[in-house]
Amino acid sequence: MRILITGANGQLGHDLVQALAGEALHTYDHQALDIVDATVVEETVSRIRPDWIINAAAFNDVDGAEKNESTAFAVNADGPEHLATAAARAGARLIHVSTDYVFDGRKGRPYDENDAPNPLSVYARSKREGERRVLASGAPACVLRTAWLYGRHGKNFVKAIQAAAARGGPLKVVADQVGSPTSTADLAAAIAALMRTPAAGLYHVVNAGACSRLEFARAIVGDQVEVLPITTAEAARPAPRPQNSALTSVRWASTGLAPLRGWRDALEAYLSA
């Protein structure tokens, strides 16, 4: 398959390249392909004529988006729309990666694909708009919501906690935010498998289960250092976060693929690798 991957230098992008080794990959970082530029996107897709486009590019600075709304929407909404438009013209299928943060966190239990989004932050609103435009584009597309990603490449919560623990404890971690930690290696493998199916539409794809940030941090460091609970208010981050953004799926089974393994198993594999 000819596959065009945007955001190929990100943590998910690196694992996608590995998971799809053996295919005809055309990989781009932001410098090589600015998805905000509709003309460049159209020219690139027309030249490559990919069977698939995977959009792993995003403006992921949740707090920074509060002061950079135009950039967040350009990358997270305009960019996916440009890719979807080009995919439709080229007859390519599209996978667009979105986020658990499109929900407001008030449900009290994991969100499935039938729940109505209500994003709280600029970042979340921009990602929701990207979803909406891709699904409305007419392109044969899958929108995959995932959550709390971590992998070998780039910045993430696991690496931040490990670095903080190495400097010595105790650590203070938010205890009132719940989500679904997800390995980028597992997500990349799921995407590779999904591309062998006729799936289209919206799916939640995360490692199974849910935990708080505090529980996640304690699982990362074990007994290396003490991890103390604080509240979201005490953390005082610029962008609001949903208190519960755990995801589950009522649609993934229809693809015929197995669900992802539990988050603890995925984390253990990551830490022991």
Cα–Cα distance between 73 and 129 in angstroms, integer? 8
H or E segment and range at residue 4 = strand 2-6
Q: Which of 126, 124, 92, 67 is nearest to 6 (CA)?
A: 92
Please report, to the nearest 10 degrees, the dihedral formed by the alpha carbons of residues 6, 10, 14, 15 taken in order. Answer: -100
101 counts as catalytic:
no
Q: CB under 8 Å to 34, separation ≥6 — which residues?
A: 40
Are 227 and 198 contacting, i.e. CB atoms less than 8 angstroms apart?
Answer: no
Q: How do strand 141-146 and strand 178-179 relate by DSSP bridges?
A: unpaired
Cα–Cα distance between 209 and 267 in angstroms, integer? 12
Cα 84 to Cα 41, 48, 79, 89, 114, distances in angstroms: 10, 15, 9, 9, 23
Catalytic residue chosen out of the listed positions 28, 123, 203, 270:
123
Cα–Cα distance between 12 and 20 in angstroms, integer? 12
Length of the chain: 273
Task: Give the angle 136-258-205 at the CA atoms, nearest 5°.
Answer: 40
Instruction: Tell me the catalytic residues.
Output: 123
